[in-house]
Amino acid sequence: MKKILLGLLITATGSVFAQNTGKDIFSAKSIVWYGLNFSEARMVGQFDQAAGAGTASSSDLKNKWIPGWNTLIVSEPQNFKLGEAFRKNDVYYDLAPTEKDNQSINLDKFMSFNPYTFTDAQKTVQGIISKLGTGDKKEGIGVTFIVESFNKSSDEASVYVTIFDIKTKSILVLDKITGKPKGIGLRNFWAGAIKHIIKQINDYNYKSWESKTK
């Protein structure tokens, strides 16, 4: 079942309120895209690389494939239509804070053959956002996909679409969405799942978030 959190949250200190509110998401003309955050994710199953390269190790996924997925989204905006999905004229790409987070992945726990979900999704996601490093933009609306799992056994990507106030790190929207992978090769296969998630936001989720503010 999807869980949607929409509204104004107090930051972890309890003393600062978001500069932006849920409604500001829909009136803002731009967003900052922080990419796919795998810092608390699990990769479930066996991830085979193309061209006889064998099975991807946890190190391969961390150092090659995760940067590749994030780069692909930025380099092919015509295929990953973030501006269209979030109804924004401008998408500013700032991957550096997330790239730093992704480099902190614990390789000993990163891969598994067992299904995986966050024990407390709201707490986990807020923790990731709270410690997210400062990027180019100091305020505005930030968007990131907090990856829960890429599950090869079930061919499903599970992410928490997270919209937050950049200045205060308060979460404005938190919505779990799953996507079906599609494509040839490890990179394109899982990129297809992200494309599917973006399409769902465009077709349904954005309208659902907006309706909850009226």
pLDDT digits (tens, 9 = 90+) for 179-191: 999 999 999 999 9
Question: SS3 of 184, please?
Answer: coil
Q: Is the alpha carbon torsion for 159, 160, 164, 168 positive or negative?
A: negative
Beta bridge partners of 141: 165
Closest CA to 115 of 145, 148, 147: 148
Tens of pLDDT, residue by residue over 2-25, are 445 554 333 332 323 345 667 889
Domain boundaries, the chain: 4-211
DSSP assignment, residue 10? B
Q: What is the pTM of this model?
A: 0.90
DSSP assignment, residue 63? I
Backbone angles phi, psi at 43, to 5 degrees: -105, 115
| Integer Cα distance of 185 and 69 in angstroms | 12
Residues 6+ positions from 191 with CB-CB distance below 8 Å: 69, 72, 73, 80, 183
| Integer Cα distance of 192 and 79 in angstroms | 10
Contact, 197 vs 157, CB < 8 A?
yes
Tens of pLDDT, residue by residue over 31-61, are 999 999 999 999 999 999 876 668 999 999 9
